[in-house]
Amino acid sequence: MRFGLFGAAQAQRNQGPDVDSAAGFNDYIEYLIEAEALGYHSAFMVEHHFTGFGQVSATLNLLGWIGAKTSTLRLGTAVLVLPWHNPVLLAEQAATIDLLSGGRLDFGVGKGYRHNEFVGFRIPMEEAEGRFNESIDIISKSWTSNERFSFHGKYWQFDDIIVEPPTHQQPHPPFWQGAGSQGSLRKVAARGHNLLLDQFASMDETTNRFNTYKAAMLANGNGFDPAQVAVARAFFVTDTQEQKTEALHRRMTAQRRLHAVSQTPDNNNKASIMAFSDTFEANEEATLFGDPDHICRKIEWLQNQGVDYILLNGGGTSRDNLRRFAKDIMPHFRTESSARIIAA
């Protein structure tokens, strides 16, 4: 199995004169350098804006810095919210990272789900899907066209352009899409893109989504490789039940805060990522919290459902958590990947 990391650096405003506002970013970069040395496969970065409590906003900028400090770690976005970006500028910036990193970019994209972010950018959430689809088409064309082209859509118009530089990976870096609803999962498969599954859904719901995507990939003639699905899970290696309980309560507090900044005024945000349960029992079931044996059993269950790639989130930049997972858990899954490509 592959294990990557999913998360964000923290750098808040107005912390006081004795706090370096870049410390969170610098610490996270050092955390990822050690993760690479420990055998982690990738690091996926979020994109969020206007929270006030510190999350990554300039995702590609940070990944460029991380790419310069590492040599094998794959550099992922989870996800860049396409409705907020000029797609041609984004294609150029992403291609530059892919080129300079020697082809390590995993280009994760999504439509967005947080109401306050759309309000801040003065972009109606109702336009998210249309803007997303246009952007996918433009970025794909930008990366694969060796000739000048024009594009005239509802939201974007470009005339006589060619995008530079070319990407290192051919025909382009892999697209990863975040999705959860049945319809969205099928749309990801129809494009032949890889799938990012969120950390909040239950184990059973995650399996259902995995299987829906797998079936749709095969139905579309794309074949299927389990490595095309990355399942995000919060992780925390503990020694006692008390430590586990405290960690779960901290996670629930953070969940409620994120839910509050994401919700619409009418409390009717229907994004699949918002459909989680915030009970203690649901969090305990959905997370990889506990002692190494407990976590191994959960990962084995996921592996038996076909999951081959897990993105770990949580624990801040705790070196102890990072090291313990690498030492006590990863070796149990270090066999050659059992994943095989299933032909259409």
Q: Express each pLDDT in 56-100 by its tens digit.
A: 999 999 999 999 999 999 999 999 999 999 999 999 999 999 999
Tell me the sheet residues that pair with 285. none
CATH of 1-31+42-178, one of 1.10.3720.10, 3.30.450.40, 3.30.360.10, 3.20.20.30: 3.20.20.30
- Please check the confidence at residue 104 and state whether its pLDDT lies above 70: yes
- What is the pLDDT averaged over residues 261-274? 70
Assign 3 to helix, strand or coil: strand
> Is 69:104 a contact under the CB 8 Å cutoff?
no
Question: Residue 253: which pLDDT band, with cuts at 50, 70 and 90?
Answer: confident
> Is 197:230 a contact under the CB 8 Å cutoff?
yes
Strands 175-178 and 74-77: unpaired
Categorise residue 267: left if φ over 0, alpha if ψ from -120 to 50, beta otherwise.
left
d(CA 240, CA 237): 10
* Average pLDDT value for the chain: 91
Percentage of residues of the chain with pLDDT beyond 90? 78
**What is the per-residue pLDDT for 343?**
52
Question: Residue 22: which pLDDT band, with cuts at 50, 70 and 90?
Answer: low
Domain boundaries, the chain: 1-31+42-178, 183-344
d(CA 120, CA 159): 29
Q: Which of 18-32, 69-83, 163-177 has the lowest mean pLDDT?
A: 18-32
Per CATH, domain 183-344 is 3.20.20.30: yes
d(CA 341, CA 336): 14
Q: Express each pLDDT in 107-161 by its tens digit.
A: 999 999 999 999 999 999 999 999 999 999 999 999 999 999 999 999 999 999 9
> Is 126:134 a contact under the CB 8 Å cutoff?
no
Q: Express each pLDDT in 189-233 by its tens digit.
A: 999 999 999 999 999 999 999 999 999 999 999 999 999 999 999
Residues found in the chain: 344
Question: Residue 3: which pLDDT band, with cuts at 50, 70 and 90?
Answer: very high
**183-344 shares the fold of 1-31+42-178:** yes
Cβ atoms within 10 Å, residue 255: 17
Torsion angle in degrees (nearest 10) through CA of 45, 51, 53, 56 = 20
d(CA 66, CA 60): 10
Chain centroid to Cα 324, Å, comes to 23
The pTM is what?
0.92
